Amino acid sequence: MYRILSFVFVLFMFVSCGSGYTGIASKPDSDRSSDINDVDYEEVSDTDSDEVSGPDENPDTGEIPESDEVPESDEIPESDEVSDSDEIPDTDEVPDPDEVPDPDETDDFDGDSIQIRIVAGNITSGNKQSYDPGHGIRIFQALKPDIALVQEMNYGNNSVSDYKNFAQEIVGTNYYAVDNKQKCNNNKCNIPNGIVSKYPITDSDSWDDPNINDRALLWAIIDIPGEKDIFAVSVHLHTGPESDQVTAAKLIVDEIAKVKEKNPGKYYYVVGGDFNGDSAVSQNGFGKNNTFYVDGPDPVDEKGNGNTNAKREKQYDFVLADHPLHEFQVPVVYYSSEDATKTKIYENGLVFDTRLYDQSVLNEYFSPADQNDSGASQMQHMAVVKDFLIELK
């Protein structure tokens, strides 16, 4: 009996020791254990299976993966890397509506600024002071204006459809304004002022020129991208006396002061066209109340001549900006159609005379102008060009 009891006791001790050994071998290393416990299996299970576990592994069984299958701590996906269809993006990743660009504006500028080219031209030809012969139209097309301040704007029968065609030929849109005929000598504006724009013209009208009956002082509001629009005035002042030109300039300045009072900070202001002399370009004229920037330097042609009449002896034509707009003036640049790296640059603006270029140069930089356009029969003056790189605020 004693031998039997001794045998049972030894067998019991042997079994007990064997069970304890197995438990100790299964206990993971403390460092690896902390790595494993950092894994949230509910989050990881939504990720790509190739990145988390093999097809034979089941994290829900409670089995601990082999050491070479346990991801190191720097390989465990962070919570913001876990793909979950119900996950809400962080607020700093949601676009601010105020920072989203206006789709109507993105086609024409980089979001911070916009370049506007303004061309003034009394460039009719022929015996009827019109654009029908085509010389002036080709010049406008060659200069590529965004806004054209046009004098003697006669085209076809001066009908709505004619003016639309004129606008489309110059800037590619239907946007135009012309003298209010009720302000011109019993509804007859023989040589009306006009404004043609690439951008929408939202309003227009004209002021009476006290010295002239066959045209008025035309203005238009042009809706350019950004918070401020352009208030443009197209004029063809009296030939003489010079005091008449100054009188008209003062009238425009006084009317603009009223516009500013009602609409503070709403517009940039520009006046341009045929001044028939430079007397109005003074502190006594357009410079009154510091309204327009009237100091030089002025635009010049390819050879440095700033005169604009047909004989190139007198300066008649101008583009004047108010001081805020003047601050944005930049050189006028035309690019070669044959080599994008070649340019013609006019530091202070351009007086354009086709006769100063070989036809090959016109074809390259100023198509479709013809060398003889500026010398056409009864051609009035030379066109004047200024560029402005306007910061959008």
Tens-digit pLDDT profile for residues 247-257: 999 999 999 99
Residue 275 has pLDDT above 70, yes or no: yes
Residue 153 has pLDDT above 50, yes or no: yes
Residue 105 has pLDDT above 50, yes or no: no
Question: Residue 254 corresponds to which amino acid?
Answer: D
Q: What is the pLDDT of residues 40-61, one digit of tens each?
A: 323 333 333 333 333 334 434 4
Which secondary structure element, helix H or strand E, spans residue 259, and what is its range?
helix 242-262
**DSSP state string for 87-135:** PPPPGGGSPPGGGSPPTTTTTTS-SSEEEEEEEEE---BTTTTBSTTSH
Query: How high is the pLDDT of residue 28?
Result: 36
Strand, helix or coil for residue 45: coil
Cβ atoms of residues 194 and 153 within 8 Å: yes
Q: Where in the chain is the domain with CATH 3.60.10.10?
A: 115-391
Please state whether the predicted TM-score (pTM) of the whole model is above 0.75.
no
**CATH architecture of the region 115-391:** 4-Layer Sandwich (3.60)
Measured CA to CA, the distance from residue 142 to residue 114 in angstroms comes to: 21
Give the chain's radius of gyration (CA, Å).
Answer: 39
Question: Residue 311 corresponds to which amino acid?
Answer: K
Residue 100 has pLDDT above 60, yes or no: no
Q: What angle do CA 269, 270, 273 make, to 5 degrees?
A: 155
Question: Residue 86 corresponds to which amino acid?
Answer: D
Strand, helix or coil for residue 376: coil
Query: How high is the pLDDT of residue 185?
Result: 61
Cβ atoms of residues 241 and 247 within 8 Å: no
In the chain, DSSP finds a helix count (H) and a strand count (E) of 9, 14
Looking up tokens 């086709």, which residue turns up? Answer: 354
Q: What is the pLDDT of residues 108-123, one digit of tens each?
A: 455 799 999 999 999 9
**pLDDT-derived band at 213, boundaries 50, 70, 90:** confident
Interstrand relation of 267-274 and 229-236 (parallel, antiparallel or unpaired): parallel
**pLDDT-derived band at 164, boundaries 50, 70, 90:** very high
Measured CA to CA, the distance from residue 233 to residue 165 in angstroms comes to: 22
